[in-house]
Amino acid sequence: MQLPTDPHSHAGSSPVRVRHLVLDLLVDFDTRSLTGSATWHLANPDAAPEVVFDVRDLTIASVESVDSDGNATTADYTLTTPDPVLGQGLRVSLAGATTLRIGYRTAPTAAALQWLVPAQTAGTQPFLFTQSQAILARTWLPCQDSPGIRFTYEASVRVPAHLLALMSAENPQQLTASGEYRFRMAQPIPAYLMALAVGDLAFAPLSARTGIYAEPATLPVATHEFADLEKMVAAAEQLYGPYRWDRYDLLVLPPSFPFGGMENPRLTFVTPTILAGDRSLTSLVAHELAHSWSGNLVTNATWNDFWLNEGFTVYFERRIMEHLYTGEYADMLQVLGRDTLHHTIAEIGEASPDTHLRLNLAGRDPDEGLTEIAYEKGCSLLLTLESLVGRTHLDTFIKEYFAHFSFQAMDTATFLDYLRTELLNKEPGLEARLQLSDWVDGPGLPTNVPAVASRRFAAVDQVLAELSTGTAPATLLAGTADWSSHEWLHFLHGLPPTLSAAQLQLLDETFQFTASGNAEILAAWFPHTLRAGYAAATPALEHFLRHVGRRKFIVPLYRALLATPDGQARAHYIYGVARANYHSVATSTLDALLAERT
Ligand code: BES
Ligand code: ZN
């Protein structure tokens, strides 16, 4: 199978590939640096005279060739001209070497790393976490940072006493006296799934193979919220085959974590903003768990094929939720997802190639092109396929796809070939009815997409209709008593953009949005309050922006803030205070957004 070259990695310029990593790191909170070495065992050292790694903002101290007796000799290397997004190629002459040891140090500004002071945590200790996807692994270790290149690893990490270190690997469940931790990842993974977190962390088991790591203050809340974790893993296995990574644990991060979740193998990282108290936001965990198949087992070959990771994962996520909590529950998720899709297409522009499933991100920061399209249009393609071939056939296909391509990379062309052979070619006219090329290489949303509907949202639409005819919110309260977060989100998305501050105040007095402890609800409510100038929500909004770093929430809020009359000044003021709490993934987006309008 000939895979395309990855436009976002230097590693493709030489055919020599890594196969195993021995990582040795010292974590220093004072200098905000990781110092140590990455020893790379090569798979096919004879394939070319040199091997190429990706590095970005790393200080390279030494490059040595290590022989089988452990003797080291200096190796010749050069660094290519730095690119702000791609970093540099580290080209090392092999001269017979099969193992290379690279001594290095990270920069305090390394884009993958967020160093937190105690005030940014729930406790009294500093915290560090990494976020490697899409191409940030190269900012904390020299690596072949391309999703199509996999390796196993072992690591030794030294941290200050009383802090626990965790990785995307076999993890400790207790502190060591020395502050030294050893890790092993026996299954081969790509570099974007390399992860490290260090902090005042404790562990609580949920089942024999699942558990939660969190700061001690957060752990009880988290174990309550994620009580169904084992059921999710069991449901996922029943749907699409065995879980191949042994344990499945969650790490609940401090609120500055820039994403909802990150599917680091064996240890999903999650935002604490899904701790709603009522277990209503756990589809995010089902999503990250589903990546243990779509993404971590069968991996997008390049970021142009991102939909193969995310589209399958969204479809799979909702199948898990349906299995655990009924079809009615999954229907709500599908409708919310479809709304997001329409919204995203409108935002990106109906005709834009960024609305295609197969992307062309060469020459751009992949972070800019990885949008909700991959997630929701990808899921919608699978729903369309389901409507044409039926669930039984689709499920068999997906299960065999995961089994057949386990621990391999997949690009869109190879997937299409496989889909044709296994499914489409078995029935004349099927591919045409699927409108496959419109889905993959065409803009917007193809006409054959099945409609999605939710019975529970019909009740919400009813309340919205009554409100629009002038019915007082208070008289509608009883009818909302059994609403979950999803109904409230649908409600908030459906509120007309013309309500006055006085009308919002009435809604707030009745439904208590500003006082909500649910971050999804707050993030859907604040744009209304900003647009209408409902000032009573301002302190809660500012508190939210100062504490939460989840990009999906804060970027739209800054946008809404900028659109208000004195928004420029307010946005810059709040950002000035809050920026230090955000990860580079969020500040790179927000720096650009706030600069645009000045
Ligand atoms: N793998 C993604 C996060 C990601 C994508 C990081 C692209 C960097 C680049 C993760 O699985 C994800 O999709 N997270 C979502 C939650 C999900 C429920 C849609 C998020 O963080 O919002
Ligand atoms: Zn995902």
**pLDDT by 10s per residue, the chain, length 598:** 567 799 999 998 889 999 999 999 999 999 999 999 999 999 999 999 999 999 999 999 999 999 999 999 999 999 999 999 999 999 999 999 999 999 999 999 999 999 999 999 999 999 999 999 999 999 999 999 999 999 999 999 999 999 999 999 999 999 999 999 999 999 999 999 999 999 999 999 999 999 999 999 999 999 999 999 999 999 999 999 999 999 999 999 999 999 999 999 999 999 999 999 999 999 999 999 999 999 999 999 999 999 999 999 999 999 999 999 999 999 999 999 999 999 999 999 999 999 999 999 999 999 989 999 999 999 999 999 999 999 999 999 999 999 999 999 999 999 999 999 999 999 999 999 999 999 999 999 999 999 999 999 999 999 999 999 999 999 999 999 999 999 999 999 999 999 999 999 999 999 999 999 999 999 999 999 999 999 999 999 999 999 999 999 999 999 999 999 999 999 999 999 999 999 999 999 999 999 985 4
Indicate whether 90 belongs to any domain.
yes
Ligand 1 centroid – CA 5 distance (Å) = 24
Selection from 150, 106, 37, 582 nearest residue 406 by Cα: 150
Query: Which numbered atom of ligand 1 lies nearest the CA of 291?
Result: 11
520 and 417 co-located in one domain: no
113 inside domain = no
Q: Looking at the structure, tell me whether residues 520 and 386 fall in a common domain.
A: no
Tell me the whole-structure pTM to 2 decimals. 0.98
Q: How far apart are CA 53 and CA 144, in angstroms?
A: 5
Q: Structural domain tally of the chain?
A: 3
Centroid of ligand 1 to alpha carbon of 287 (angstroms): 9
Beta-carbon contacts of residue 36 (< 8 Å; ≥ 6 apart): 23, 24, 25, 26, 103, 104
Whether residue 8 is found in the same domain as residue 150: yes
Atom of ligand 1 nearest to the CA of 263: 11
In one letter, which amino acid is 359? L
Q: Which CATH number covers residue 523?
A: 1.25.40.320
Q: How many residues can be counted in the chain?
A: 598
Ligand nearest to the CA of 282: 1
Q: State the residue range of the domain holding 560.
A: 484-596
Cβ-contact 521, 528 below 8 angstroms: no
Residue 385: inside a domain, yes or no? yes
- Answer yes or no: do 330 and 426 share one domain: yes
pLDDT of residue 121: 96
Active-site residue set: 288, 375
Closest CA to 377 of 332, 340, 425, 415: 340
- Do 351 and 418 lie in one domain? The reply is yes
Same domain, 312 and 432: yes
Do the domain assignments include residue 18? yes
Q: What is the CATH number of the domain that holds 393?
A: 1.10.390.10
Cα 336 to ligand 1 centre (Å): 16
Q: Treating both helix axes as pointing N-terminal to C-terminal, what angle do 412-422 and 391-404 enclose, rounded to 10 degrees?
A: 130
Domain end (from 180, 197, 214): 197
Q: Phi and psi of 566, rounded to 5°?
A: -100, 30
Cβ atoms 75, 3 nearer than 8 A: no
CA 41 – ligand 2 centroid, Å:
30
Element (H, E) at 21: strand 18-28
Write out 507-557 in H/E/C secondary structure: HHHHHCCCCCCCHHHHHHHHHHHHHHCCHHHHHHHHHHHHHCCCHHHHHHH
Starting from the CA of residue 263, give the closest ligand: 1
Q: Which atom of ligand 1 is nearest to the CA of 366?
A: 9
Is 157 within the bounds of a domain? yes
Q: Has residue 379 been placed in a domain? A: yes
* Residues β-bridged to residue 72: 66
How far apart, in whole angstroms, are the C-alpha atoms of residue 518 and residue 501?
22
CA 328 to chain centre: 26
Angle at 479 between CA 474 and CA 484, to 5 degrees: 110
Give the position, in ligand 1's atom list, of the atom nearest the Cα of 375. 19
* Atom 1, ligand 1: residue with shortest CA distance: 262
Question: 441, 458, 492: which is the final residue of a domain?
Answer: 441
Q: Is 494 in the same domain as 547?
A: yes
Where is the domain boundary, 197, 217, 235? 197
Residue bearing the CA closest to ligand 1, atom 17: 284
Domain assignment of residue 272, yes or no: no
The protein residue with its alpha carbon nearest to ligand 1, atom 20, reads: 260
* Nearest Cα to Cα of residue 128 among 203, 28, 45, 61: 28
Do 490 and 423 share a structural domain? no
Residues 420 and 533 reside in one and the same domain:
no
Q: Are residues 388 and 510 in the same domain?
A: no
**Same domain assignment for residues 166 and 35:** yes
Q: Which residues surround ligand 2, an ion (CB under 5 A)?
A: 310, 313
CA-nearest residue for atom 15, ligand 1, is: 260
Per the domain annotation, does 464 fall within a domain?
no
Ligand nearest to the CA of 259: 1
Q: What pLDDT is attached to residue 2?
A: 65
Residues lining ligand 1, CB < 6 A? 133-134, 259-263, 284, 287-288, 291, 310, 370, 375, 552
Q: Residue 121 corresponds to which tokens in the numbers above?
A: 């945590």
160: domain CATH number is 2.60.40.1730
* Closest atom of ligand 1 to CA, residue 283: 18
Residue ID of nearest Cα to ligand 1 atom 6:
133
Same domain, residue pair 433 and 497: no
Ligand nearest to the CA of 265: 1
